Amino acid sequence: MMTQVPLQIAALDTAEHDRSQFTCGVLALDRYLREQVSQDIRRRVAACFVAISGPSRVSGYYTLAAASVPLTDLPADLRRKLPRYRAIPAVRMGRLAVDIAFKGQGLGGVLLVDALRRAAHSEIPAVALIVDAKDEQAAAFYQHHGFMTLADSPLTLFLPLAGI
Ligand SMILES: CC(C)(COP(=O)(O)OP(=O)(O)OC[C@H]1O[C@@H](n2cnc3c(N)ncnc32)[C@H](O)[C@@H]1OP(=O)(O)O)[C@@H](O)C(=O)NCCC(=O)NCCS
């Protein structure tokens, strides 16, 4: 039920937030949060935002990073509204995961909206949020939320940020 979903979302605090129990069903995504994300944050390769349940338990997370997309990968109707630069600025949500204890309660959708808001309201503008879906099921989740596939890469999807 929606009421059980924690809505506190914040930048990962590696000293405060408990990531040790996080299990989303995809080992690589669990390991990344436990073992690798701090280094990526330190090196400015990615930012990580977490949903917190209880005092400090991480129940979901996503990462954001700067990206660029070749103009020719975008659909013609969007391309027409853009200058003819070779590549356009974007924000990439590299990872998104929800703990199995919290799945199916809307938290994935809440995290996705939070990511879209952050990308749309950044002082550094970007044309779209892009995501790398790890498989077709993940791609279906993003399509359910209005994302479209980039030309020639069915597992890379985007959503324009204008109007968010
Ligand atoms: C994908 C994931 C993040 C979804 O999180 P979640 O909290 O269970 O999803 P939600 O409860 O927020 O679902 C939101 C909506 O998406 C829909 N949805 C969820 N998974 C879907 C799928 N695979 N295909 C289509 N729609 C899907 C739900 O039906 C729901 O629809 P509604 O808002 O109209 O009711 C989660 O299942 C997860 O962590 N999976 C493992 C990691 C993963 O696959 N990450 C994807 C990025 S690579």
Query: Which pLDDT tens digit goes with each residue over 36-65?
Result: 999 999 999 999 999 999 889 999 999 999
Question: Atom 40 in ligand 1: which residue has the minimum CA distance?
Answer: 97
Q: What is the rounded distance in angstroms from the CA atom of residue 158 to the CA atom of residue 83?
A: 18
Determine the pLDDT at residue 5: 54
Known catalytic residue: 85?
no
Ligand 1 neighbours (beta carbon < 6 A): 24-26, 29, 96-98, 103-109, 133-134, 137-138, 140-141, 144
Domains of the chain listed by start with CATH number:
2-160 (3.40.630.30)
9-43, pLDDT tens digit by residue? 999 999 999 999 999 999 999 999 999 999 999 99
Ligand 1 pocket mutation pick from 98, 113, 116 by most atoms within 8 angstroms of CB: 98
CA distances from 106 to 1, 19, 85, 101, 131 (A): 8, 20, 38, 12, 19
Question: Atom 18 in ligand 1: which residue has the minimum CA distance?
Answer: 141
Question: Atom 9 in ligand 1: which residue has the minimum CA distance?
Answer: 108
pTM: 0.93
Model confidence at 151, pLDDT cuts 50, 70, 90, reads confident
Yes or no: say if 37 and 22 are a contact pair by the CB < 8 Å rule.
no
Q: What is the rounded distance in angstroms from the CA atom of residue 133 to the CA atom of residue 158?
A: 11
